[in-house]
Chains A and B, each alone.
Chain A
Amino acid sequence: MRRNVSLWAGIVLVGLVVGVALVSFAWTPHDPLLVDASVRLLGPGGEYVFGTDKLGRDLASQLMVGARTTLYVGVVAVGIAALIGTPLGVLAGMGANWLGELIMRTSDLVLAFPALLLAIMLGAVYGASTLTAMIAIGIATVPSFARIARAGTLQVVSTEYVLAARAGGRSRWWIAVRHVLPNISGIVVVQSSVSFAIAVLAEAALSFLGFGTAPPTPSWGRMLQESQELLAVEPRLALIPGAAIAIAVLGFNLLGDGLRDRFDPRLEVRR
């Protein structure tokens, strides 16, 4: 029962974020970038559902377009990590011993390096942008995919059907594609969902620090940053994007949790 609750709660929250982002392509209540000093710092209600920020921009519209940025960063960063990390993990699990050691020790090295620091370095060298943030978050997440894929691979290659395939003269490539990848795809999907949540948070943190999405493109993290000096005057400006980030992160975590329960082979046996 519990697994259903977290899966469905995750789907609802993530669906909300995705839905809002999709709608923003077709419609937003106002132009999110339109600066208008005559309506600055309006409270919620009326024409502006969540009110306006200090430049007179509609908060709701910015929030909607910001969801796009959030998902965009998550998809690309997790895509980079999964596409690089998973093959590396499979290679480490199936290749020669020294190769496996090399890959895993390198990924330990990357893991030891703080993701935010990497992003700040990239931002300083190549200029702060959504792209540098995504690449940095992606690179920093590669090791977690490599580790998980390797663990899964080691489990799969010791099974009897893989031993049979090897005895039958099947190449390593064939085994990797035919047996290993399908069997570890579940845990990769779960890891993706969890990493997505981390990526969303990392993008928000980077934009907050000024190393992420460049203005004026709306980003939840930068909305928080811009509200910082108004915390005592207009806490709404911080609470609303803060809540949006919390919803997205919680949603992807719950989704990952729910998916794990579905995909976990051990639970499958018990069922």
Chain B
Amino acid sequence: MQALLWMRARWIAATLTTVLLLSGCSAGSTATVGGEDALAVGFTAEPQNFDFTSTDGAAIPQALLYNVYEGLVKLDANGEIAPLLAESWTLSDDRTVYDFRLRTGVRFSNGAPFTAEDVKFSIERVQTDWTISLKSTMDVVDRVDVVSPSHARVVLREPSNSWLFAMTTRLGAMFDPSGVDDLANRPIGTGPYQVSDRRRGDSIVLSANSRYWGARPAYPTVVLKYYRDATALNNALLSNGIDVISGVTAPDSVPQFEADTRFDVLQGTTNGEVVLAFNGNRAPLDDVRVRRALTYAVDREALLAAAWGGRGNLIGSMVPPTDPWFEDHSGAYPHDPERAKQLLSEAGQQNLNLRLRVANLPYAISAAQVVASDLDRVGVNVTIEPLDFPAVWLQQVFTDHDYDLSIVQHVEPRDITTFGDPEYYWGYDSPRVRELLDRADTGTPEQQLADMREVAKTLSDDAAADWLFLFPNIIVAKKEVTGLVRNQVSESFDLTGLGRR
């Protein structure tokens, strides 16, 4: 009897503890930051390993690109292609031959010199050894010639504007032939930092590369700290465990940092379009009137305010403001429920039932509930089905195209080209858009600019999708840290420009 009573009491205690844990499961970090000269930066997505040639995902290039690995060119803070390991380059009149003049005196962190041989090796290795899906961008390269140790010539099969842009991403990273044996654990590049320590599930320590060709970085040691959730990351900065939050993913927590005089908050843009996808292969969403109706029905300004604290941009098409061909299409479909109802009745779709199958992620779940509430007001009944992300969502929505509506963030740079692929999960097929995208890639930069603008406009006119908002890039840093990049335009969390007050 006593035992039973005691067990019951223990049960109640356990219950209460669990509830308390559920309501507040996050602990502050008590990590010690590595010394006076060290800088600690907090992230939420940890790299599985260091090999971005065979492992997909944004976490590895975020940590290593421009910091450990360098390419011939880089994307600067304004989104422009700038020289890095190439001092300059020229393009032939037929736009297929690039001649790169290489920087001299550059060495890899293992001591090997960087020459045109390494350029040939690295580019050819993408074609032969890489396994990630992005590698196909390198297919356009016909051959790489070593003209002299400081002169590499890249010959393309056909003109391609996107190729040089791709060289600013992880695809353009330069490797040393003797340094690729253990890419997953020992990355060797020419950048200002090298990886000196890694604690799985906790941190990566970058220390200054003594053989670096450029100026010594302001912080000889940078610790990249990884946290499982947004709250833990915020607490780490508040409790002095880190110096910088690389990206705040809980927008409603930003005001507490803005109110604190110890911190600077930088808010910029990303390449991450949060898209309400319409399955264009399925009735009734193959009808442009229905897609337009749904676009009119959603109040994106209110959605951004509700789902993401009003932080982010309305874009109205698949182009972030940092791309050269950005034009603001956010006014194309002002919130107009009456217009939506009228279009729906024109299309003969009064009692519409749609499945909104979303990634099981905070922004998508929040946005989905706003979309469902808005569409309900114009008589469209929406059932929300959260799918485990990435595995289940990728299989069922992305691969099998089993959905009516979906919400996910598209983070790849310049991913407007996905609308040129009729097999992509949008189910969008426009011969005009395909033609424009092809011409934009092979034409002159002026032609590219004009064509890409027209693609963006066409997508907006066709209501090919509803671009809900552009994800903000919110960096919070201690006041003494300078040189952080406001807009996230490249794949890298670029440490090279950092300084201190």
A interface, CB within 8 angstroms of B: 33-38, 40-41, 54-56, 123-124, 127-128, 194, 197, 201, 204-205, 208, 210, 214-216, 221, 224, 226-234, 238-239, 241-242, 245-246, 249-250, 253, 257
B233-258: contact bitstring with A at CB < 8 Å (1 yes, 0 no)?
A: 01100000000000001101101100
Nearest CB of chain A from residue B373's CB, rounded to whole Å? 4
Query: In the complex, are the beta carbons of B370 and A232 less than 8 A apart?
Result: no
For the complex, what is the distance from the CA of A134 to the CA of B384, rounded to whole Å?
19
For the complex, what is the distance from the CA of A249 to the CA of B16, rounded to whole Å?
8
**Chain A contacts for B374, CB-based, 8 A:** 35
The verdict on B11 contacting chain A, using a C-beta distance below 8 Å, is yes
Query: In the complex, are the beta carbons of B230 and A242 less than 8 A apart?
Result: no
Residues facing A in B1-30 (CB within 8 A) are: 8, 11-12, 15-16, 18-20, 22-26
For the complex, what is the distance from the CA of A238 to the CA of B231, rounded to whole Å?
13
Known contacts A233-B253, A249-B19, A253-B11; A228/B229 CB under 8 A? yes
**Chain A contacts for B255, CB-based, 8 A:** 233
Between A and B, 9 residue pairs with Cβ closer than 8 Å are: A33-B372, A38-B302, A55-B307, A210-B365, A216-B372, A226-B362, A228-B231, A249-B19, A253-B11
Known contacts A35-B373, A56-B306, A250-B12; A210/B360 CB under 8 A? yes
Known contacts A37-B303, A231-B26; A253/B8 CB under 8 A? yes
B289-328: contact bitstring with A at CB < 8 Å (1 yes, 0 no)?
A: 0000000000000110111010000000000000000000
The verdict on B385 contacting chain A, using a C-beta distance below 8 Å, is yes
CB-CB nearest in chain B for A41: B252
For the complex, what is the distance from the CA of A196 to the CA of B253, rounded to whole Å?
36
**Chain A contacts for B373, CB-based, 8 A:** 33-35, 216
Query: In the complex, are the beta carbons of B252 and A229 less than 8 A apart?
Result: yes
Known contacts A35-B373, A215-B386, A216-B369; A232/B18 CB under 8 A? no
For the complex, what is the distance from the CA of A268 to the CA of B366, rounded to whole Å?
54
B369 touches which of A124, A197, A215, A233 (Cβ 8 Å): A215
Query: In the complex, are the beta carbons of B20 and A242 less than 8 A apart?
Result: yes
Query: In the complex, are the beta carbons of A35 and B22 less than 8 A apart?
Result: no
**Chain B contacts for A257, CB-based, 8 A:** 8
Besides A197-B15, A232-B256, A233-B255, 19 new A-B residue pairs in contact (Cβ under 8 A), listed by A number = A33-B372, A54-B309, A55-B369, A123-B388, A127-B387, A201-B18, A210-B388, A215-B384, A228-B26, A228-B231, A229-B249, A230-B250, A231-B24, A231-B26, A232-B235, A233-B253, A233-B256, A242-B19, A246-B16
* Interface of chain A, main secondary structure: helix
Query: In the complex, are the beta carbons of B365 and A124 less than 8 A apart?
Result: no
Known contacts A128-B386, A232-B253, A233-B252; A253/B12 CB under 8 A? yes
Interface centre among A197, A216, A221 (most CB of B within 10 A): A216
For the complex, what is the distance from the CA of A230 to the CA of B23, rounded to whole Å?
11
Known contacts A55-B366, A128-B386; A221/B22 CB under 8 A? yes
For the complex, what is the distance from the CA of A204 to the CA of B25, rounded to whole Å?
14
For the complex, what is the distance from the CA of A194 to the CA of B7, rounded to whole Å?
12
For the complex, what is the distance from the CA of A174 to the CA of B431, rounded to whole Å?
77
**Chain B contacts for A250, CB-based, 8 A:** 12, 15-16
The verdict on B392 contacting chain A, using a C-beta distance below 8 Å, is yes
CB-CB nearest in chain B for A253: B12
Query: In the complex, are the beta carbons of B306 and A215 less than 8 A apart?
Result: no
**Chain A contacts for B253, CB-based, 8 A:** 229-230, 232-233
B247-273: contact bitstring with A at CB < 8 Å (1 yes, 0 no)?
A: 001101101100000000000000000
For the complex, what is the distance from the CA of A227 to the CA of B19, rounded to whole Å?
14
The verdict on B274 contacting chain A, using a C-beta distance below 8 Å, is no
Query: In the complex, are the beta carbons of A124 and B392 less than 8 A apart?
Result: yes
The verdict on B368 contacting chain A, using a C-beta distance below 8 Å, is yes
A54 touches which of B22, B252, B302 (Cβ 8 Å): B252
For the complex, what is the distance from the CA of A247 to the CA of B16, rounded to whole Å?
10
CB-CB nearest in chain B for A267: B1
For the complex, what is the distance from the CA of A123 to the CA of B392, rounded to whole Å?
11
B353-386: contact bitstring with A at CB < 8 Å (1 yes, 0 no)?
A: 0000000101001101110111010000000111
